[in-house]
Structure 1
Amino acid sequence: MNFLENMDLEVVAEELVTVLTTYGLDVIGAIIILIIGNIISKSVPKTVSALLNKRNVDQTVVNFLGNLTRASILIITLLLVLAQFGVQTASLIAVLGAAGLAIGLALQGTLSNVAGGVMLLFFRPIKIGDFVEVAGHGGTVKAVNLFTTELATGDNVQIILPNASVWGSSIKNFSFHPTRRVDLVMGIGYDDDMDKARDLMLSLIEADERSLKDPAPMVVVSELADSSVNFTVRIWCKASDYWPLKFDMTKKMKEAFDREGISIPYPQRDVHLIKEDD
């Protein structure tokens, strides 16, 4: 016998009317919430990404924050849909919060590195190509990622630092400013002419095109040491010229002192022998 022939059509119709009356508006409301949530989850991240790109924020941070914004909107949309059907979302949020706390405690080291990476990429105290000293290491920045920062030392050794230690320590960035100051200490003998030595060093500095006129170079007597009269030499130059100028100027000053008969004394000590009478 056909199933439909035994079915009470009036009862089925009444049940359908009851269901539609009870849940119809909820279903329609949930569909509207899903549609609006989906539209917002696509448009808001794009707006956030556009604003960050205008501020020249690193693309890694832009992608990360865009995905985080979209995920947050979708979670809120899901909670609103559940609330539309009378589900108590407060308890669900509490459960999700507890789970999130447990996961956060288990991954606190990793999450702190992510947080450090976001701060480094957003505020950009360092960038690729900078020579820095950070967390007890020095080198050229090769990469700044969400979890780690990569450096290369002067002899091209790779150093991988967790971002939490980079952001949590002092950063000395030698490449941040366009100019740097070369500091030298040159010593001459006590019998040598100080004014002649000073003029000679200034002439060498002024003849080198890499030395800047503003700020002006400085050559001053800074110390009467045990074996020599010491000059402090300060020369401003472009950051890229720092090491070449330092090395060249040290060599040129030594050669000029030799030509002009100005001595660079070795460390010496006077020893007085006291002869006791027998």
Structure 2
Amino acid sequence: MARETGSQISAFFQQIVHDLYSSLYLAIGGNLEEETRDWASRGAELASTVIKIFILLAVLGFLYWLFTYIVKHNQKRLKLTEKRIGVVRSVLRYVWIVSCLIAVMSQTSIDPNTVKATAKASIWAGIYYVLWTSSEHVISRILKHYGLNASIEQLLKNIFSVLIIVFGIASVMAQFGFDIVSLVAGLGIVGLAVGFAAQSTIANFISGITILLEQSFQVGDWIALDDKEGRVILISLRTTHILTRDNITVIIPNATVASSEVINITSKNFIRFDIRARIALEADIDAARQVILQVIDGMDSILKRPEPSATIDHISDFGCVFIVRFWVTPSAVARIPGIKEALHEGIKTQLQAADIAIPYPHMRILMPKDVDYPIDTKPFEIVTHQKKE
């Protein structure tokens, strides 16, 4: 029994060694159907292939370094900017990597048709990559010529990017024998199933296109959305990015933007804001108005036309309340809290300097004098002041 078990274990390990032996022979280009296995000739062929690959890679590496050196030291003569230098280096690097891959494949036992397909696919991939990287610049120049706004520019950039990527993948796959028509039909069926599972993403996509076409707001506008307020810095096909006054980027799904009430604060050339200031009931209204208008006139952020105004909004229990209206340009909207704070501070300081009283909430209690009071008490008037916290 022990001898039988030992022979089985021995046969198992012998089978493993035989499989490794055969795999190694196949790896160096041998044929298992040969009666005798010539390791020496196969090893020589493998060494020759490795040397050829090494020489080809060395030559390609030298050519890559040479072209890079020429471009770098002839930048002024070729009138290339730093951006164009980066593009040229990227193209040279891509050509070098693809050439190395083709060189290695050509020296191995890979089917020549596969090598040709890989070369063609690499060329198509490079062409579409150049189109993808340069499409943004080309579209910007075209739209600048026709005077279209940033929202339409963003929409066209997104659409062209998607189209270039789709056609690029299709062209690359076609070089390896894939039937693109059948593949697209299959993707259409799969797309229906994916659409039901990604309804929110599709809703955001459609809402993004609607926002870009309607142009209710554009990139650069200052908008208020629910409890969020900021400058629109990006309208993509899925989300809208808003930069707040605190330099925080808020990313909102387009479906939420499309279904919410959006206030475009900077849609016009100038915007009006207001604050309130209070003076005592007995104070001179005209004198206080002149002081307030002088404070406004000294602030560069506030427009002189349309003219600011300071009128009595209402008379409260503790004084006359001014409503101070002023106008600013869209570029100053981001600084409105600071402008209002400076106005409040300046108005208070100047009113005090002009001896115009600024009241605070108070309460006066008057006790009648003709009432009998207990002994050791006198008729009196109690006046208390209750400061507002």
Task: Name the residue aligned to 2:67.
Answer: none
Letter in 1 for 2:285: M
- The answer on 1:138 being equivalent to 2:204 is no
What TM-score results when the alignment is normalised by the length of structure 1? 0.62
Measured at CA, do residues 272 and 58 of structure 1 come closer, stay the same or move farther in structure 2, by a change above 3 Å? same
> Could you tell me which of 333, 353, 359 is aligned with 1:265?
359
Shift of 1:268: 1.7
Equivalenced residue count is 212
Q: Which residue of 1 aligns with 2:314?
A: 223
8 Å contact kept, 1:135–1:165: no
Give 2:275's aligned amino acid.
L
2:210 counterpart (111, 119, 140) = 119
User: CA 1:96–1:241 in structure 2 vs 1: closer, same or farther (change >3 Å)?
Assistant: closer
Give 1:146's aligned amino acid. Answer: L
Q: Which of 257, 274, 277 pairs up with 1:166? A: 257
Whether contact under 8 Å (2:212, 2:235) holds in the other structure is yes
Q: Measure, in 2, the Cα distance between the counterparts of 1:63 and 1:147.
A: 14
> Are 2:246 and 1:246 equivalent residues in the alignment?
no
In 1, Cα distance between equivalents of 2:154 and 2:299 = 43
> What's the CA shift for 1:154?
2.3
1:64-109: CA deviation from partner (whole Å, max 9, x where unpaired): 54578898xxxxxxxxxxxxxxxxxxxxx9x998765443322211
CA contact (8 A) 2:155 2:236 kept: no
Which residues of 2 match residues 76-225 of structure 1 at below 5 A? 100-225=191-316
Instruction: Give, in whole Å, the separation in 2 of the partners of 1:131 and 1:195.
Output: 36
Judging by fraction of residues, say which structure has more helix: 2
Counterpart residue identity of residue 178, structure 1: N
The residue type paired with residue 162 of structure 1 is: P
CA distance in 2, matches of 1:205, 1:66: 49
Deviations 1:169-197 (A, max 9, x none): 11112233231223011100112111211
1:165 Cα shift? 0.4
Q: Is the 8 A contact 1:61 1:121 kept in 2?
A: yes
Judged with a 3 Å threshold, the aligned counterparts in structure 2 of structure 1 residues 253 and 64 are, in CA distance, closer, same or farther, namely closer
Per-residue deviation, residues 177-226 of structure 1 (Å, max 9, x unmatched): 23122301110011211121112222333444543343222111111112
CA distance in structure 2 between the partners assigned to 1:276 and 1:130 by the alignment: 72
Provide the aligned C-alpha RMSD in A: 3.6
Report which structure shows greater RCO (CA 8 Å, sep ≥6): 1
- Determine the C-alpha separation between the residues in 2 that align with 1:170 and 1:186: 31
TM-superposed CA distance for 1:119, in Å, is: 1.9
- Tell me: CA distance 1:190–1:118, structure 2 relative to 1, closer, same or farther (3 Å): same
- Paired residues of 1:148 and 1:162 also in contact (CA < 8 A): yes
Does the CA-based 8 Å contact 1:135-1:166 persist in structure 2? no
What is the deviation of 1:58? 3.5
SS at match of 1:270: strand
| Structure 1 residue 152 displacement after superposition | 2.9
What is residue 14 of structure 2 aligned with on the other side? Answer: none
What is the DSSP-based 3-state SS (H/G/I as helix, E as strand, rest coil) of the residue aligned with 1:214?
A: coil
Compared CA separation, residues 273 and 105, structure 1 to 2 (3 A): farther
Residue identity over aligned pairs, in percent, reads 27
Q: 1:157 to 1:67 in 2, by over 3 A?
A: closer
Return the alpha-carbon distance in structure 2 between the equivalents of residues 254 and 196 of structure 1: 14
TM-score normalised by L of structure 2: 0.46
Report the Cα distance in structure 2 between the residues aligned to 1:154 and 1:213, rounded to whole angstroms. 25
CA–CA distance in 2 between the matches of 1:189 and 1:214? 30
Per-residue deviation, residues 228-250 of structure 1 (Å, max 9, x unmatched): 11011111222333525433322
Distance (Å, rounded) in 2 between the aligned partners of 1:170 and 1:247: 28
Distance in 2 separating the partners of 1:156 and 1:211:
23
1:9-55 per-position Cα deviation (integer Å, ceiling 9, x unaligned): xxxxxxxxxxxxxxxxxxxxxxxxxxxxxxxxxxxxx9xx89x9444
Alignment correspondent of 1:76: none
Contact 2:158–2:236 (CA<8 Å) still a contact in 1? no
Consecutive unaligned residues of structure 1, counting only runs of 5 or more, are: 1-45, 72-92
Displacement of 1:130 = 3.0
Q: What is the aligned partner in structure 1 of residue 74 from structure 2? A: none
Q: Which one has the largest radius of gyration? A: 2
Q: CA deviation at 1:259?
A: 0.7
